[in-house]
Structure formats: C-alpha cells, structure tokens
Structure 1
Amino acid sequence: MTVYQWLIVACAVLLNANDGFDVAAMSFVAANVEREFDLSGSVLGTVISATLVGMAIGALVIGRLADILGRRWTVVGSAVLSTVGMFLAATSQDVVQLGVWRVLTGIGVGGILASITVITSEFSSARWRGLAIGVYTAGYGVGAFLGGMAANGLQTEYGWRSVFFVGASVSVFIVLALAIITPESVQFLLTRRPRYADKALARIAKRVGYDPAKATVAQQVDESAPREASSRLSDLFTRKVIVATLLLWLAFFTVMFGFYFVNSWTPRLMGEAGMSDEQGVYIGMALAIGGTIGSVLYGVIAARIEREKLALAFLVISAIAIIAFVLSTAMLTIAMILGVVVGLLVNGCIAGMYSIAPTRYAASARGTGVGAALAVGRIGAILAPMFGGAMLDAGWTLIMLYASAAVMLLIGAVAVLLLRRIPEVGGAS
C-alpha cells in the first residue's frame, strides 16, 4: 500500500464521516424538530427515514451509472448533491421542506457509498483490504461523534438548523479534496475501456507503481472478463451469482435495519428511559465512539480471520449486547459503557458487509452489485426509524423495540452463514 493508496482511503473516510455527521445530526436534533413542528412519533420516524429513502435511490441509480459512466465523477457529483441538500435542510420552514431536502441529501450520500466502497476495495491490496474498509467505515463513527458535539453546542446558541449548515460548509472542502485526489476505478478503465483509459491508467500507474496492462493496483482484475464488458441489473441474477445476490440482500437489509434503528432512535428513546435530551445525546455519542473503534477493529482482525466468519461473530455478539444495553438504561454510567460496546459491534457488522459485498461480483458488475445490495439495505434502514416511531405510538416498551433490532441482526447472521458456503467471484479476495 503506497501513500497515494492510503490517501484514497482517507478520502473515503472523510466521505463516510460526512455521512455519519449528517445522519447522526438528524437523530441528535430530533427532539427539537419534534417540538418545533409538533410531530408524532410516526411522523418523526418518517422524517428521520427521509435521508435513508434518498440513500436507497442513490445507491441503486447512481451505483448503476457508476458502472456505465465511471466511478470518480459519480462520487464527486454525488458529494455535490449531498452538500446542496444539507444547505437546503438548514433553510427548512416546515416538516415537508425538511423531508424533501433530506431525501435530496440521501440521494447524494447513497451515490457516494455505492461508488467509494468499490474504489476503496479496488485500490487496497489483498492483505490490507480488510483494514482499509474498516478504517473507511470508521469514518461514520467519527462523523457521528462530531455531529453529537455540534448538536449539543450549536443547538443551544443557534438552533437545530445551524447543525446542518455547519455540516454542509465542511462538505464543500471534502468535495474539493475528492476532485483532486480520487482516481477513476482501474477495473472500470480496464473493462469498459473509455477513450481516456490509457492516459488515466498511465497516470495511476505512475502514482502507484504497477503495470496497468497486467493487473489492477490490488492485482484483482478478472482476466477472463471481456474488455468491453457491459453491466446490467440482470447480471446479478445469473446462475453463478443469484444465490449470493439474494443472501447479500437479506444480510444488508437486516444488518442496516438493526444499525439504523440503534443509531437513529437511541438518543430520542433515552428520554423514554428517564434521561434528559442532553444525556440522550451523550449516549448517542457513546455509540459513535464505539463505532469508530469497532470498524477499525474489524479491519485489523479481518487481516487474519476469514471475513464472513468474523462478520458472523460480530452479528451474534451485537444482538446480545443490544439486549444488555437496553436493560442497563436505568444506570447512566453502565449505559454509556454498553453504548460504546454496542456501537463498536454494530459498526463492525457494517464494515463486515462492506468488505464482503465487492468480492461476490466480477469487475464489470461490481458497482451495480454493491449499489443494489446497498439499496436493499437502505430499505431496511428506511423501515427501522418508521417502525420505531409506529411501535412507540403503539405503546411498545424499550425492551420490545430493541429486541426487534436484535432479532434482525440474528437473521443477518444466518444469511452470512449461508453466504460462507458460496465461492467468491473473479478473484476479488
């Protein structure tokens, strides 16, 4: 791994941190938004889910475009779209406007994740890919933690809209960094062969030091793939990959349901446990701190242990930890500690899914495959906050709400267990 390769990973970390800041900021300001617009739990859950709706659309549509047009500019364009959405969210005067701008933000974020996940995987060596994906995924926790700090400080002085304004302002600099540093996907250049492919490959070769005629940076090119390979959604349902596709979709759906339920609702639900709004934000920040540790920890261990086996362990232990956490909410200190543990584990689960997904498809369909899996995962992410709000209105207890998230993670564990029995595709290990 050269310095330039780690710079690409650093850009991915910044992008994911921006995602974490934005998504977590909405959960941290939820109490003030709920009061200002006089919302029920169900409506608040829908507003929280608005970003996730956009992320599902962006992951599927822009992930598909990335395989056709290239991944570099779809990443940059998606980042611009996300930034505009965040700025506009800061101007919202009613809940409908806020929901619309959050969808727009989500489309950008979804497009970013579909493309940058593939780029990070491709520009990481086989040995360090697990760590690179883990560090990249850790960006979410860093951003969420900073979102919590911003929410507590800015809301008191300037109101909840200022949190989005600050996030959007920082995002402008991230867009500039992306445009300067992020290269085009080598595997896209080799399989699609756009007119600028030779110059782009030579430029990347000079920066990284490899022979573009023989292999990608990670030496992961599927040499049997046709150079003019086309990418269609139907490629995900061929006899060779259909079972892997369906298992990936189930795993992403359940894992993201559990992840986004815990991260989106926990600060608000701590009020149901008798905590103040400020204490609820602190618990949310504990989740974020744990998330940062967990993603990196997954990456470090993944260099030594099979990815699917490690993801399976994280999923099962996460389910147990979530139940322990909700039973501890009467004791703030213990809840904070267990919040860090839960954040560590559920973010490790996400890192696991991000590292597994690109290995299941050939280079020509990798963006489409990862984008589709993320889109299905976003459906779970969308339903989680809405489910939480509806069940809260229906009188569900905290233990019932969190137990449902734990069950979803266990279902994801079963999907990963079955996925272990299916060989990887195209040498993308």
Structure 2
Amino acid sequence: MTLTARIGAAPMSGYQWLIVALCTFMNCLDGFDVMAVAFTGPSVTEEFGLNGSQFGLLVSVGLIGMALGSMLLAPFADLIGRRPLILISLALGTIGMFGAAMAPSVLVMGVFRLVTGIGVGGILASTNVIASEFSNTKNRGLAIGIYTAGYGIGATLASLVAKTTVAGDWRIVFYAGGFGTLVALVVIAVLLPESVAFLEQRRPRGALERINRTLARMGMDSASTSDLDASRAAREEAGQAESGWLKRLLAPTVLLWIVFITIMFGFYFVNSWTPTLLAEEGLSKSAAVTAGMAISIGGTVGSVLYGLAARFRPPRVVLIGFSLLSAAMMVVFILSTSVLWLGFGIGVIVGALINGCIAGAYTVGPPLYPSNVRSVGMGWALGMGRIGAILSPTIAGLLKDAGASATQLYVGAAVVVALCSVALVALRRHDPESAPAAKAPAAV
C-alpha cells in the first residue's frame, strides 16, 4: 500500500485538519482579491474615468493572471514541491496587492493586478491538491468544502473593509489585502509541511526523514525505504495499465470542461459585477456594497452545505440541484434588490448556492480520472474553467455599454449557469459515483 493510500484509509488527525485550515486561509486570499476589485469598482471607475468595458477588462486582467499562474506555475509544483511554489506565489501576491494600492493610473494598476492574479493562480493550483492529499477518503469531500468556503470568508472580509472605507480611500482595501497576503507568507513558511505525496513520488534529498516527521505529527507509523520503493513500483504498474486514458475519457473530459466554464462564468459575474451594477441602477454605494456582501456571506457556508448534502446523494446529482437553484435565485435576487432587506436575504442564498457549485465541480471531477492522471485531468478542467471566469466580466462590460440593464445581464448569466445541469445530466454514464456499478464492492 502506498503512503497516499495509507493516509486515505486512516482517521483524520488534528494536524491534518490544521493543514486543511491553512489551505482554507490561503483560499481566502482569492476571495479577498476578486472582491477587492468588485467592491471598490464604483470608486475606481470614478477616479480613473472608466467605462463599463474598461472596468470589465480591469477585472479580467486579474483572472487572466490566475489562469496563467495555474497553467504556467503549477507544473513547477511537481519539480520543486508544493510548498516552495506556494511561498513564491504568496510573494507575488503580496507585491501585486501593494502595487495596485499605490498605482497612479489604471494601466499600472492593471499590471499589478496581473501579477496578483499569477500569484493567486499558483496558490490555488497547489492548495487544492494539498488539501486533498492530506485528507482521508471519508472526509475528503468535507475538507474540500471547507477549503472552498475560504473564498467566501475572504470575500466577506473584503466587503467589510470596503464598506468601512466606502466614503474614503479605496486603496485601503488593497493595502489590507497586501498585508493579509504578507501574513500568510510568514504563517505558511513556519507551519505548512511539504506534501507527503510529492516527497513519496519525487524523493528529493532527505525525503524519508521529512515524510516520517510529517507522519509522526499525523499520528501514523513511520515509513521505510522499502515502502517508498514499493510505492514507486505500484505507480509504474498502474501507469502502464492505464495508458491511453485521454482517448477513453475524452467525452467526460469535455463535459467536465463545460461544467467548469459555465459555473465559473456565473460565479465571477455575480462576485465581480454586483456592487457596480446595483450602484448604477440607483442604489447608494453603501447599499450596493451591502447587497454584494450578502453574496459573500452566503458563500462562506454554501460549499460546506454542498459537502454535507453530497454525503447523502451522489455529488453529481447534488450539483445539478445547486446549479438550477443558483440560476433561479440569481433572477429573483436582481428583481428584489429595490427592497434592501429582501435583496440581502436572497443574496445570501445566491452566494451559498453559487459557491456550493464551485465545491461541487471540485468534487465531481476527480472520480472521472484514474489516480495517476487525476491531477492532469483536474488541472486542465480548472484551466478551461478560467475561460468562463475571464469572459464573464468582459462580456458583461460590453453588453452594459451596449445598453443592457442589470436585470438583463443577471438573466443572461443565470441561463449560462443553468446550462451546467445539461452537461451534468450527460455526464451520468461516465460518473462512477452515479453508475449502478458504484454500489458493487469492487468499485467502492
């Protein structure tokens, strides 16, 4: 049995939950980063004299950086390790946030937003894997749900900072983000260990000692050199048996890409444009930020709710329900914002549902792939999902400049989210957790 399999079968220790918490903390940076632009959107637009297309491009620059970070930096995690890549990415994020705070023009701000996005992309590509690798099989879905909730926590913090400074300097929000990223850099450098799976696979100098140090903190028996040799032999045998996976899994891969693209399209539209659209529809800046904050608050619990629901029904089925409900409640939300307390309450529901969809995509994807190509499959799915994230704010800006109202934009985004359910229905025959064979012992 490989060390990864041993961790998957053993009970979760407090130390493993600490690592999940550290990953959740880093995911907060993603939420804070995206919502820092969203909640300061009206002030940034006013200071730099931006139209809708220009503001949409400013939002998209950060998302493009995330895509570049995920696709270009992530491969280095398999060469130098997850931990060093995270530290490098945190350093980039710190530079980018402080740089955006001091930017004298929108062009300079855009450059630093790109740097921040690259850093956040590198962080997300590694922390998602670490949270999964340090979780056991029973609690992996819940751990990923908690990890995903970090986005909502970070977004809520950004909204609180923005709300206290809505009549003051918008740059304070980015200074706060830079300080938080700097704190994360120090904390991670002190507390986060290297992935056992990486050390087991790559076996750098001192790998066995580092593995046993981590296993001891997890309350597990130490490993030996023969254990590492056996793990390598098992991986090589599995790799030979599962060659040609791409051809066999082309259809579910394309369907999974559609799931990620549609969900991220709606997710980033809701989180990026809501305060600005509501402000331009007549709400005060404070009320617009409050409505946007409701979505962030809901996001802090939505992914955990999804994880709990997925313990009783197949994750794919739960995600179908979440995506359809998200689409419906997005329309209800934009129609109810004239009554602030009602809009706030529905906004919480929208945030919970759309954030739960993100957790669902992370959960539905991995079982589609053999273990030795799971990272490749999920990595490409995340990269393709960024297409939806990048297109969403840009298309919204173009449509807004063409005369589309906030209601029309929200309805359009809701239709895109609803399309996710179509891809998920088609994915049923490829999903091992939905197929009848999943009930057989051999497939458990």
Going from structure 1 to structure 2, the CA distance change for 1:31 and 1:236 (only over 3 Å counts) comes to farther
Q: Which residue, out of 314, 339, 348, partners 2:322?
A: 314
Aligned partner letter, 1:203: R
Distance in 2 between residues matched to 1:83 and 1:381, nearest whole Å: 22
CA apart distance, 1:184 = 2.3
- Does 1:225 pair with 2:270? no
Whether contact under 8 Å (2:216, 2:222) holds in the other structure is: no
Give the match for residue 62 of structure 1.
73
- Does 1:194 pair with 2:204? yes
CA RMSD of aligned residues (A): 2.5
CA apart distance, 1:150 = 0.5
Residues 91-102 of structure 1: pairs in structure 2 closer than 5 A = 91-102=102-113
Give the match for residue 218 of structure 1.
none
CA apart distance, 1:213 = 5.4
Report SS of the residue matched to 1:156: coil
- Does 1:117 pair with 2:128? yes
Runs of 4+ in 1 over 6 A off after TM superposition: 227-230
Matched residues, number: 417
Aligned partner letter, 1:166: A
- Does 1:388 pair with 2:399? no
Residues 39-54 of structure 1: pairs in structure 2 closer than 5 A = 39-54=50-65
Going from structure 1 to structure 2, the CA distance change for 1:114 and 1:55 (only over 3 Å counts) comes to same
Report SS of the residue matched to 2:60: helix
Larger Rg: 2
- Does 1:277 pair with 2:288? no
Going from structure 1 to structure 2, the CA distance change for 1:55 and 1:88 (only over 3 Å counts) comes to same
CA apart distance, 1:389 = 0.7
Give the match for residue 33 of structure 1.
44
Residues 141-156 of structure 1: pairs in structure 2 closer than 5 A = 141-156=152-167
Going from structure 1 to structure 2, the CA distance change for 1:400 and 1:4 (only over 3 Å counts) comes to same
Report % sequence identity.
45
Larger deviation: 313-322 or 199-208? 199-208
Distance in 1 between residues matched to 2:415 and 2:28, nearest whole Å: 28
Whether contact under 8 Å (1:72, 1:182) holds in the other structure is: yes
Distance in 1 between residues matched to 2:103 and 2:41, nearest whole Å: 14
Give the match for residue 179 of structure 1.
189
Larger deviation: 295-304 or 133-142? 295-304
CA apart distance, 1:243 = 2.6
Q: Which residue, out of 304, 309, 314, partners 1:301?
A: 309
CA apart distance, 1:162 = 1.4
Superposed CA deviations along residues 322-374 of structure 1, whole A, max 9, x for unmatched, are: 11112212222211111111001000001111223333444544444333222
Whether contact under 8 Å (1:59, 1:110) holds in the other structure is: yes
Whether contact under 8 Å (1:120, 1:133) holds in the other structure is: yes
Distance in 2 between residues matched to 1:352 and 1:194, nearest whole Å: 34
CA apart distance, 1:183 = 2.3
Report SS of the residue matched to 1:126: coil
Normalising by structure 1, we get a TM-score of 0.91
Whether contact under 8 Å (1:127, 1:303) holds in the other structure is: no
Larger deviation: 27-36 or 353-362? 353-362
Distance in 1 between residues matched to 2:409 and 2:232, nearest whole Å: 45
Aligned partner letter, 2:81: G
CA apart distance, 1:296 = 1.5
Aligned partner letter, 1:121: S
Whether contact under 8 Å (1:24, 1:264) holds in the other structure is: yes
CA apart distance, 1:307 = 1.5
Going from structure 1 to structure 2, the CA distance change for 1:390 and 1:166 (only over 3 Å counts) comes to same
What residue ranges of structure 1 are gaps of 5+ in the alignment?
A: 215-220
Report SS of the residue matched to 2:32: helix
Distance in 1 between residues matched to 2:180 and 2:367, nearest whole Å: 33
Whether contact under 8 Å (1:325, 1:342) holds in the other structure is: yes
- Does 1:203 pair with 2:226? no
Distance in 2 between residues matched to 1:224 and 1:246, nearest whole Å: 29
Superposed CA deviations along residues 249-305 of structure 1, whole A, max 9, x for unmatched, are: 211111100000011001111123321111000011000011112111112222332
Give the match for residue 332 of structure 1.
340
Distance in 1 between residues matched to 2:443 and 2:272, nearest whole Å: 33
Whether contact under 8 Å (1:118, 1:366) holds in the other structure is: no
- Does 1:169 pair with 2:179? yes
CA apart distance, 1:224 = 4.2
Going from structure 1 to structure 2, the CA distance change for 1:74 and 1:245 (only over 3 Å counts) comes to farther
Superposed CA deviations along residues 167-201 of structure 1, whole A, max 9, x for unmatched, are: 11121111122122222222223333334332222
Give the match for residue 160 of structure 1.
170
Aligned partner letter, 2:163: N
Q: Which residue, out of 246, 262, 279, partners 2:270?
A: 262
Going from structure 1 to structure 2, the CA distance change for 1:271 and 1:407 (only over 3 Å counts) comes to same
Going from structure 1 to structure 2, the CA distance change for 1:203 and 1:357 (only over 3 Å counts) comes to farther
Report SS of the residue matched to 1:93: coil
Report SS of the residue matched to 2:429: coil
Distance in 1 between residues matched to 2:40 and 2:206, nearest whole Å: 46
CA apart distance, 1:8 = 0.6
CA apart distance, 1:211 = 5.0
Superposed CA deviations along residues 371-429 of structure 1, whole A, max 9, x for unmatched, are: 3222211121111111111100001122221111111112222222333322559x998
Distance in 2 between residues matched to 1:428 and 1:332, nearest whole Å: 50
CA apart distance, 1:122 = 1.5
What residue ranges of structure 2 are gaps of 5+ in the alignment?
A: 1-11, 225-230, 434-441
Going from structure 1 to structure 2, the CA distance change for 1:355 and 1:11 (only over 3 Å counts) comes to same
Aligned partner letter, 1:171: T
Q: Which residue, out of 353, 359, 365, partners 1:357?
A: 365
